[in-house]
């Protein structure tokens, strides 16, 4: 009924716990009808050994691809490529109607609070409320780079005082989610936060893209972000990202789904996992 997928690199300390969490969700939420698709990038730890061991024990459950050489110079471009390889496999196999794109690091290694949190969104009346569904996290919502929500419709990294606006937007999204009833979903343009449930049919023709492209965003949304930050678009170079060239790869995927397919991008105020172990 669902794929669990994503890129993996240097995830050794958390990978076993993440795989155990996938098994719990796969068996309880999807009645054991699931498959794990992983794109492995060359790592300096025991990530590949863990994957090989898991595949030996579960040969029909997991499929992983090994990439020994980075395809691109920039991190977000490589991550987009990895996620797209997972998408390509799932679309060619076309076995399930849902997929979960996730990170395989500490974010999803914490204890699952209750599988029913995820399961409720796969039945009426909540099933019709979303096409892409992500979740809150403890102790706060952290993934501000992937987030586009009015009036902050683009990347905080591409406006003046980006580091300051990371905290402003973090407080903004946290406040919205805190006020939202548990049976409601928050509308947005893009969100990930480490774990996203998707309907395959809502993202036909959509791909991840880690390249910067402000033209993805409708002009009125860009102008709303400019007004909110009192800044025009900027393309700074940070220690962790070259924003002349890089953007979060999730934005292109979500925005394309939203604009081309009318996909409903939503955030649940609920936390699926306990606070991530460090």
- Which one, of 142, 140, 133, lies nearest residue 186 by Cα? 133
Average pLDDT over residues 65-94: 95
Q: List the chain domain ranges.
A: 2-271
Q: What is the pTM of this model?
A: 0.96
**Kind and range of the H or E run holding 98:** strand 98-102
| pLDDT-based confidence at residue 62 (cuts at 50, 70, 90) | very high
Which residue do the tokens 């343009």 mark?
Answer: 189
Convert the pLDDT of each residue in 185-212 to its tens digit: 999 999 999 999 999 999 999 999 999 9
CA distance 6 to 77: 14
Three-state DSSP at 36 gives strand
**11-50 per-position pLDDT tens digit:** 999 999 999 999 999 999 999 999 999 999 999 999 999 9
Buried b (16+ CB within 10 A) or exposed e, 36-59: bbbbbbebeeebbebbeebbeeee
* Percent residues over pLDDT 70 in the chain: 99
Task: Quickly tell me which residue has 């719990």 as its tokens.
Answer: 24
Q: Does domain 2-271 have CATH number 3.90.550.10?
A: yes
Span 58-79, mean pLDDT? 93
Q: How confident is the model at residue 278 (pLDDT cuts 50, 70, 90)?
A: low
pLDDT at 211: 97
Report pLDDT for 275. Answer: 86
pLDDT band at residue 105, thresholds of 50, 70 and 90? very high
Tell me the H-state helices in the chain. 12-28, 47-57, 75-93, 116-119, 162-179, 219-229, 249-261
- At residue 276, φ and ψ (nearest 5 deg) are -65, 135
Q: Would you state the torsion angle of the CA atoms of residues 238, 241, 245, 251, taken in this order, to the nearest 10 degrees? A: -120
């Amino acid at each position: 009924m669902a794929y669990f997928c994503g890129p993996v690199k240097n995830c050794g300390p958390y990978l076993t716990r993440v795989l155990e969490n996938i098994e719990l969700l796969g068996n309880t939420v999807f009645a054991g009808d699931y498959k794990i698709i992983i794109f492995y990038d060359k790592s300096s730890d025991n990530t590949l050994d863990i994957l090989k061991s898991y595949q030996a024990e579960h040969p029909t459950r997991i499929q992983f691809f090994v990439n020994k050489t980075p395809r691109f110079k920039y991190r977000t471009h490589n991550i987009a490529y990895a996620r797209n390889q997972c998408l390509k496999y799932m679309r060619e196999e076309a076995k399930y109607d849902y997929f979960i794109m996730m990170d395989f690091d500490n974010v999803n290694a914490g204890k699952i609070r209750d599988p029913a949190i995820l399961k409720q969104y796969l039945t009426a009346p909540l099933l019709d409320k979303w096409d892409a569904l992500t979740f809150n996290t403890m102790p706060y919502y952290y993934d501000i780079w992937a987030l586009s929500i009015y009036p902050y419709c683009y990347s905080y990294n591409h406006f003046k005082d980006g580091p300051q606006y990371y905290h402003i937007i973090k407080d903004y999204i946290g406040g919205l989610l805190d006020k939202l009833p548990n049976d409601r979903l928050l509308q947005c343009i893009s969100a990930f936060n480490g774990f996203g449930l998707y309907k395959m049919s809502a993202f036909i023709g959509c791909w991840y893209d880690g390249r910067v492209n402000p033209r993805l965003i409708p002009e009125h949304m860009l102008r709303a972000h400019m007004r909110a930050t009192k800044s025009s678009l900027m393309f700074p170079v940070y220690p962790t990202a070259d924003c002349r060239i890089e953007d979060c790869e999730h934005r292109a995927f979500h925005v394309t789904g939203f604009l081309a397919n009318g996909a409903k991008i939503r955030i649940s105020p609920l936390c699926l996992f306990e606070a991530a172990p460090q």
